[in-house]
Amino acid sequence: MPGIHSNTIASVLSSLPIPPDSFALLIVAVLGAHLVFQFFPSIFLSIPDDTVVVSVLPGHRMALEGKGREALTVCLTSVLLAAGASALLLPVSLVVLPALYALVQPNLAIILIAASLFLLASEKETRKIALAAFVFLLSGALGIASMRAAINDPLFPAFSGLFAVSGILLSFTATKKLPTQKNEKTELDFLPYVAAGVLFGMLSDLLPGIAAPAQIAVFASAIIFTDDARKFLALVASIAASHAVFAFAALLSIGKARDGALAIMNEIKPVLPADLPVLVGVFLLSLGVCAFLLMKLAAHANKLQSLDIKALNLGILAYLVCAVAIISGAGGLLLLATSTAVGLLPPLLGIRRTHVMGLIIVPAIMLAL
């Protein structure tokens, strides 16, 4: 599913006077950088109001307690450890993934439906389950409509609205300032959750639509329950890292690009087994360098108190609107507005944001049927 519209981007990139091999390495390096730097805004920026704080990421909650640096350290440590362990397990995954995929593929629709029901039931309260089902089906209807519409790269405005724009709009209502961030020693009691994240990250590459780290973490939490924000962050971060590494194996072994960046890269230059060591090596190097730079940046986190976060978010919002207008046109702007309205529902209703992934899961179920 992530690569549905990658051929459009790939055709543009391949027309530029740059060797395909260099493009492939650049895309992999940017993928690693994105994986690392995404933790900074998810922890320190867009702090919401108290009315919706129960539904935000644990990293936000730790930042509100003055433990943002510790949250970031946990995330980065988990990413590096999980990525390294996943790289060592790549030869094994090249054999295991095709065997598991052969078992999953004939029953894909049933598995996706069961997984969706599990995600809905994880809300536990009847009222919240009903609300989650409404958001899930509404997102699914939006996904079906957007993929049938004559919109260039519809997933870009759809996901931008569901997550980025809706989060920015909620941040404009914030009344709470980012408190002073403390320097605290980070204990390594979360390492078992990193190991679990590596396993679940590999399995996530078998299913379309259900591959978001937060979604997989919900399944993992049913087996290794924890209410410790640090351990949950370690689980989510390690799933994200292992999913990205094993996506290389999924592309080679079962022919499925579970990451949009890899789908674009494969369109420009088909990935061969001989390319794997170099591509994964560049990815790991990018992770290490960016993690080092981000930790240096986090040392100045308290300067964010003097930063006008609302002005920064307003600039990001303007950038997203312009990007959607250029890439997807008027239809994309309409889809952005609609998906933003849907993306506002989970935090306002007090349910998990992961239910909006019905945008991908419902069309995947229909395709499997």
pLDDT digits (tens, 9 = 90+) for 262-307: 888 888 788 888 999 999 999 999 999 999 999 998 888 778 777 7
pLDDT of residue 161: 92
CA angle 140, 145, 149 (to 5 degrees): 150
What domain range is 363 assigned to?
A: 6-368
- Give 2's pLDDT tier (boundaries 50, 70, 90): very low
Q: How far apart are CA 131 and CA 367, in angstroms?
A: 25
Is it the case that residue 259 has pLDDT exceeding 60? yes
pLDDT of residue 80: 96
Share of the chain above pLDDT 90, in %: 41
Name the token pair of 341: 């309205």
pLDDT digits (tens, 9 = 90+) for 340-349: 999 999 989 9
Q: How far apart are CA 86 and CA 83, in angstroms?
A: 5
Q: Mean of the pLDDT values across residues 21-48? A: 82
Please report whether residue 243 resides in a domain: yes
Sign of CA dihedral 162, 168, 172, 175: positive
Is it the case that residue 45 has pLDDT exceeding 90? no
Q: Which of 184-193, 244-253, 343-352 has the lowest mean pLDDT?
A: 184-193
Is it the case that residue 138 has pLDDT exceeding 60? yes
Domain count, the chain: 1
Among residues 362, 6, 369, which one has the least CA distance to residue 209? 362
Q: How far apart are CA 285 and CA 273, in angstroms?
A: 19
Name the token pair of 357: 């992934």
Please report whether residue 152 resides in a domain: yes
CA angle 220, 65, 179 (to 5 degrees): 135
- State in Å, rounded, how far the first CA of the chain is from the last one: 15
Please report whether residue 157 resides in a domain: yes
Is it the case that residue 164 has pLDDT exceeding 70? yes
The mean pLDDT value of the chain amounts to 84
Note the pTM of the prediction, 2 decimals.
0.80
Name the token pair of 119: 């995600």
Please report whether residue 1 resides in a domain: no
Q: Mean of the pLDDT values across residues 29-38? A: 91
Among residues 129, 29, 96, 358, which one has the least CA distance to residue 252? 96
Name the token pair of 340: 């933003």
Is it the case that residue 169 has pLDDT exceeding 80? yes
Among residues 213, 193, 170, 164, which one has the least CA distance to residue 55? 170
- Give 3's pLDDT tier (boundaries 50, 70, 90): very low
- Give 48's pLDDT tier (boundaries 50, 70, 90): very low
Burial 112-146 (b: 16+ CB within 10 A, else e): beebbeebbebbeeeebbebbbebbebbbebbeeb
